[in-house]
């Protein structure tokens, strides 16, 4: 089945009422209507899954009206509306986690994604999912026709294998040369990162030694892995990264090891895996702490024997790559509770590097990164001057906890450069920053982290978990609901 997936556009899919600017009606010239008017018939879509990321009453009402009008104007078309609540629309990690189950649900179908509606982080998430499910996913944007006589809109398909999209949402880009603060591919090296990158340089010189990189999401673990690769004798060979958490066992196995024609349904041709394609180079295994015990055994064998066996094959293929792994989990604790293999842990952690959270680097380094992104993004937007930063806004930006770390700060400046004219003012900051909601030093945040840790490590029994935490079962359920967690039972 061929499926179309897209977010509805909160603004462009609607027109405002002349009497009340807060009242909106579906627009037949909006991006969603344009898809159905110009591309549906020729594309042979069987279903359109239209997504809404807001649970605000007004947005839900507008979304339902848009669905109703689409179904009325295009009878017989399967148009399904789904609500996927996104708390932070500039958090790529959150958006990925919410969209991944949707893609997994239709893993056997052909999917086309219209990526234009949404924030830059949403577009980035589509791109990353496209690289993950590239066997059955195509991404496209639309624009007013430049190559058509009638001027009708045209589709621009994105090749996730080669297109540099989105180039403005990556930290590791080449900048103006600054030998002290910028190394490798323009990675920003602040004072607290200098000793870490010095160790990484030593690892890079020892050709066969791998590394385990620890740190929270968004701290730059892949950038550090790329730095090791670029400083090594393998720099002219491929660097391949794979997010282990984004795959089931079967998909991860075929992604890493490759497969033979006919190995499973949909395997219409032989395909090399990432490890074989990276011959002579580096394979970066991100989120290694999320793989299953069964997959741990398979990876351990690869590390020990230096061979892989493609899915459906009886032949083994020699491996010549450096493996670098990364995780935001405490692997030693997981080993203690038998959730991760000690032997695999020791194989991966021959050398270990730890990247500190942005909030732990201090206000001066946060401000340094603020000025870095302010200068860095200038070239990505049609502006002549950097944005000014108001004193009150700077205070808030310096003291904020940045749970999404570098990635969150970068996405913030993409937002600022999109919406601010000349200056970033206090009112331009997201509510979570103005109110400093996610400061890890606050009592509520400490409580939240403690409850989620006990919940993650504990049993399936709510009574037992509540007993450990010293609260009632109803209180625990209420807290989990507040954190957006649905209990396993």
What one-character-per-residue DSSP string does 428-482 give?
A: GS-HHHHTTTT-TTSHHHHHHHHHHHHHHHS-S-HHHHHHHHTS-HHHHHHHHHH
CATH code of residue 411: 1.10.8.60
Flag whether 373 is in a domain.
no
Flag whether 372 is in a domain.
no
Domain finish residue from 164, 194, 217: 164
What one-character-per-residue DSSP string does 136-165 give?
A: TEEEEEEE--SS-TT---EEEEE-TTT--T
Per-residue pLDDT of 235-267, as tens digits, reads 999 999 998 887 888 888 888 998 888 877 767
Query: Which one-letter DSSP state was computed for residue 110?
Result: E
- Residues 53-66 have a mean pLDDT of 86
Q: Based on the domain organization, do 216 and 290 belong to the same domain?
A: yes
Per-residue confidence (pLDDT) for residue 179, from 0 to 100: 29
At residue 30 the predicted structure's pLDDT band, cuts being 50, 70 and 90, is: confident
Does 131 have pLDDT greater than 80? no
Per-residue confidence (pLDDT) for residue 457, from 0 to 100: 67
Flag whether 170 is in a domain.
no
At residue 184 the predicted structure's pLDDT band, cuts being 50, 70 and 90, is: very low
Q: Based on the domain organization, do 145 and 47 belong to the same domain?
A: yes
At residue 458 the predicted structure's pLDDT band, cuts being 50, 70 and 90, is: low
Identify the weakest region by mean pLDDT among 139-153, 270-284, 287-301, 348-362.
Answer: 139-153
Per-residue confidence (pLDDT) for residue 104, from 0 to 100: 76
Per-residue confidence (pLDDT) for residue 415, from 0 to 100: 84
Q: Based on the domain organization, do 312 and 408 belong to the same domain?
A: no
Per-residue confidence (pLDDT) for residue 112, from 0 to 100: 92
Which residues lie below 8 Å from residue 276, measured CB to CB, with a gap of 6+? Answer: 257, 258, 308, 310, 317, 319
- Residues 397-407 have a mean pLDDT of 88
Q: Based on the domain organization, do 250 and 336 belong to the same domain?
A: yes
Flag whether 361 is in a domain.
no
Counted domains in the chain: 4
Closest CA to 175 of 373, 36, 311: 373
Does 12 have pLDDT greater than 90? no
How many residues appear in the chain? 489
Q: What pTM does this model have?
A: 0.56
Per-residue confidence (pLDDT) for residue 200, from 0 to 100: 93
Long-range contacts: 351-354, Cβ < 8 Å, 24+?
351/199, 351/203, 351/209, 351/210, 351/211, 351/212, 352/211, 352/212, 352/213, 352/214, 353/196, 353/199, 353/200, 353/203, 353/211, 353/212, 353/213, 353/214, 353/224, 354/196, 354/213, 354/214, 354/215
The percent helix, strand, coil of the chain (3-state, each to 5) is 45, 15, 40
Flag whether 169 is in a domain.
no
Cis peptide bond N-terminal to 319, omega within 30: no
∠ CA(438), CA(120), CA(245), 5° rounding?
A: 65
Q: Based on the domain organization, do 314 and 187 belong to the same domain?
A: yes
Tokens (6 digits) for 433:
């920053």
Flag whether 279 is in a domain.
yes
- Look over the chain and give the mean of its residue pLDDT values, rounded to a whole number: 82
At residue 178 the predicted structure's pLDDT band, cuts being 50, 70 and 90, is: very low
Q: Based on the domain organization, do 255 and 332 belong to the same domain?
A: yes
Domain finish residue from 164, 194, 218: 164
Q: Check residues 448 and 354 and name the one with the higher pLDDT.
A: 354
Tell me the C-alpha distance between 157 and 437, whole Å. Answer: 40
Does 324 have pLDDT greater than 70? yes
Q: Based on the domain organization, do 225 and 281 belong to the same domain?
A: yes
- Residues 119-124 have a mean pLDDT of 79
Does 54 have pLDDT greater than 90? no
Flag whether 177 is in a domain.
no
Q: Based on the domain organization, do 329 and 426 belong to the same domain?
A: no
Q: Based on the domain organization, do 157 and 208 belong to the same domain?
A: no
At residue 299 the predicted structure's pLDDT band, cuts being 50, 70 and 90, is: very high
- For residue 213, the enclosing domain spans 182-354
Per-residue confidence (pLDDT) for residue 150, from 0 to 100: 59
Q: Based on the domain organization, do 426 and 451 belong to the same domain?
A: no
- Residues 349-363 have a mean pLDDT of 90
Q: Check residues 81 and 443 and name the one with the higher pLDDT.
A: 81
Closest CA to 416 of 90, 92, 134, 118: 90
Per-residue confidence (pLDDT) for residue 175, from 0 to 100: 27
Q: Based on the domain organization, do 335 and 426 belong to the same domain?
A: no
At residue 177 the predicted structure's pLDDT band, cuts being 50, 70 and 90, is: very low
Please state, for a pLDDT cut of 90, what percent of the chain lies above it: 34
Does 18 have pLDDT greater than 60? no
C-beta of residue 80 within 8 angstroms of C-beta of residue 49: yes
Which residues lie below 8 Å from residue 59, measured CB to CB, with a gap of 6+? Answer: 10, 52
Tell me the C-alpha distance between 70 and 65, whole Å. Answer: 9
Identify the weakest region by mean pLDDT among 115-119, 233-237, 436-440.
Answer: 436-440
At residue 296 the predicted structure's pLDDT band, cuts being 50, 70 and 90, is: very high
Flag whether 171 is in a domain.
no
User: What is the enclosing helix (H) or strand (E) of 393?
Assistant: helix 391-399
Q: Based on the domain organization, do 106 and 210 belong to the same domain?
A: no
At residue 171 the predicted structure's pLDDT band, cuts being 50, 70 and 90, is: very low
At residue 148 the predicted structure's pLDDT band, cuts being 50, 70 and 90, is: low
Does 442 have pLDDT greater than 60? no
């Amino acid at each position: 089945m061929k499926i179309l997936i897209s977010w509805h556009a909160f603004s462009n899919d609607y027109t405002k009422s002349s009497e009340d600017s807060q009242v909106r009606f579906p627009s037949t010239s909006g991006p969603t209507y344009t898809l159905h008017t110009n591309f549906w018939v020729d594309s042979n879509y069987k279903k359109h899954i239209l997504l809404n990321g807001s649970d605000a009453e007004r947005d839900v009402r507008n979304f339902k009206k848009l669905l109703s009008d689409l179904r009325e104007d295009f009878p017989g078309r399967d148009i399904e509306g789904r609500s996927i609540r996104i708390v932070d629309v500039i958090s790529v990690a959150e958006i990925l986690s919410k969209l991944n189950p949707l893609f997994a649900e239709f893993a056997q179908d052909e999917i086309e994604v219209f990526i234009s509606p949404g924030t830059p982080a949403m577009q980035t998430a589509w791109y990353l999912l496209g690289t993950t499910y590239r066997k059955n996913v195509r991404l496209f944007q639309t624009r007013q026709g430049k190559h058509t006589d009638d001027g009708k809109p045209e589709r621009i398909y994105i090749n996730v294998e080669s297109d540099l999209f989105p180039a403005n949402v990556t930290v590791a880009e080449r900048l103006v040369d600054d030998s002290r603060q910028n190394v490798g591919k323009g990675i920003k090296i602040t004072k607290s990162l200098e000793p870490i990158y010095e160790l990484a340089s030593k690892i890079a010189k020892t050709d066969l030694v791998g590394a385990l990189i620890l740190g929270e999401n968004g701290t730059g673990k892949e950038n550090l892995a790329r730095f090791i690769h670029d400083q090594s004798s393998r720099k002219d060979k491929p660097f391949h990264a794979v997010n282990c958490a984004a795959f089931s066992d079967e998909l991860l196995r075929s992604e890493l090891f490759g497969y033979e024609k006919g190995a499973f349904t949909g395997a219409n041709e032989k395909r090399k895996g990432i490890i074989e394609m990276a011959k002579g180079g580096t394979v970066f295994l991100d989120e290694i702490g999320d793989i299953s015990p069964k997959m741990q055994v398979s990876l351990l064998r690869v590390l020990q024997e230096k061979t892989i066996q493609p899915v459906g094959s009886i032949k083994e293929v020699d491996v010549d790559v450096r493996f670098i792994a990364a995780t935001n989990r405490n692997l030693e604790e997981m080993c203690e509770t038998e959730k991760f293999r000690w032997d695999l842990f020791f194989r991966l952690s021959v050398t270990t590097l730890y990247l500190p959270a942005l909030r732990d680097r201090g206000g001066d380094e946060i401000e340094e990164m603020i000025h870095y992104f302010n200068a860095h993004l200038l070239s990505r937007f049609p502006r002549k001057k950097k944005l000014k930063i108001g004193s009150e806004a700077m205070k808030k930006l310096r003291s904020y906890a940045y749970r999404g770390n570098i990635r969150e700060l970068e996405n913030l400046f993409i937002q600022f450069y999109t919406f601010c004219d000349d200056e970033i003012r206090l009112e331009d900051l997201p509510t979570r920053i103005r109110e400093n909601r996610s400061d890890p030093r606050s009592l509520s945040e400490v409580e939240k982290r403690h409850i989620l840790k006990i919940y993650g490590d504990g049993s399936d029994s709510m009574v037992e978990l509540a007993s450990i935490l010293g609260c009632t079962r109803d209180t625990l359920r209420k807290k989990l609901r507040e954190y957006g967690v649905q209990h396993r039972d």
